[in-house]
Structure 1
Amino acid sequence: MPIEQRVVSRQKIGARGSAAPEAVPTAPPAPAGRPRRRLLLVVVLVLVLAVAGAAAWFLLGRDAEVPEAPVAEPAPVAGEVVQVDPISINLADGRYLRLGLGLQLTADAHGAPDPSRALDLAISLYSGRTVGEVSDPTTRDALKTQLAEQLAHAYEGEVMDVYLTNYVTQ
């Protein structure tokens, strides 16, 4: 559509005078290429982002974004229980503890383990404690849990738990 421009002047057409016609300010013409430039800029920006994303995906790989969750080991299957003969452990103040153990083995344990390591760990853990400490149920459970962890480490995973079969203080 053509743009029509009109010139308005104070002089009449055909009149002669020394006054110069005044310039009427006109609005600057709108650039015809401005909407096209914006569209071109948006298209170029989208293409640059797409290329950068594809390059990052190919160069870094999919595994770099999402770390793999650690694989949990399955719980060991319980095997037989090996009875350890009760022993007397010296406590503080001339008292003693009679302690009998049952070692819960895993199903893949290779034969009955030597109970001497279990007895040594029990003596180290319980000896020198007071009767009040070993008689308190919460302390007794904490000591049993600590002994079970030490036994699992000492027997390299062949012992999964420990049972207190004899527990007498005097």
Structure 2
Amino acid sequence: MASKTAPAESEAPPKKKKLPLVVGAVVLLLAAAAAVWFLVLAPDDAEAAEPEPEKGDVVALDPVSINLADGSYLRLGIALQQTADAAHEADGSEALDLAISLFSGRSVEDLADLDHRAELKGELLTEVEEAYHDEVMDIYFTEFVTQ
């Protein structure tokens, strides 16, 4: 009987050696499938990106004076670049309110930095686009005077 158990024990190690090969083959197959997806089947970013909306009317708003830090003020004029598919001319009240909230209390030195001013303009644009449900695609500073 000892001879019958010996062949069974000798067969067990080859099964253990096959397991890493099977796992390796599965990993290799998954890697190949991922490569095919990213290189062939995945949509291009250029195709997935939304096309730039067409420019419509520009609505110039009356300039406003905004209180800054240390008794200074900002005279700010903005214009809203609407998209071509905007239903009607934008009422600038909400855009002016957003601008006042964003710029109030800032220092003159803070607004004199062109890079920081560009960041603030980008932040204002994001808020305006949300407020006008993407009917406004850009804003322009028509007046920007600090004192």
TM-score, normalised by the number of residues in structure 1? 0.60
Pairing 1:136–2:89 present: no
Does 2:147 match 1:157? no
Percentage of matched positions with identical amino acids: 54
How many Å apart are 1:136 and its aligned residue?
A: 1.4
Q: Find 2:68's aligned residue among 60, 68, 91.
A: 91
Aligned equivalent of 2:18: none
Aligned to 2:14: none
For residue 101 of structure 1, the aligned residue among 51, 73, 78 is 78
* Structure having the higher Rg: 1
What residue is the counterpart of 2:19 in the other structure? none
Distance 1:107 1:156 in 2: 13
Identify the residue that residue 146 of structure 1 maps to in structure 2. 123
Determine the C-alpha separation between the residues in 1 that align with 2:68 and 2:62: 19
Question: 1 CA distance for matches of 2:121 and 2:76?
Answer: 11
Residue ranges of structure 2 left out of the alignment (5+ in a row)? 1-35
Report the 3-state secondary structure (helix = DSSP H, G, I; strand = E; otherwise coil) of the residue aligned with 2:96: helix
How far apart, CA to CA, are the structure 2 residues paired with 1:113 and 1:102?
10
Q: Distance in 1 between matches of 2:66 and 2:112?
A: 14
Q: Once the two structures are superposed, what CA deviation does each residue of 1:82-137 show, in whole Å capped at 9, x if it has no partner?
A: 00100000000111000000100000001111111101110110001001011111
Question: Using the alignment, how far apart are the partners of 2:79 and 2:91 within structure 1?
Answer: 13
CA positional deviation for 1:68: 3.9
SS at match of 1:121: helix
**1:75 alignment partner AA:** E
TM-score by length of 2: 0.69
Distance 2:57 2:72 in 1: 33
Within a 5 Å distance, the mapping from 1:15-164 to structure 2 comes to 66=37, 68-69=42-43, 71-164=48-141
- Counting helix residues as a fraction of each chain, which structure ranks higher? 2
In the comparison of the two structures, how many residue pairs are matched? Answer: 108
**Using CA pairs below 8 Å that are at least 6 residues apart, which structure has the higher relative contact order?**
2
**Alignment partners' CA distance in 2, 1:140 and 1:68:** 38
- Measured on the aligned residues, the alpha-carbon RMSD in Å equals 1.8
Structure 1 residue 146, shift from structure 2 partner? 1.1
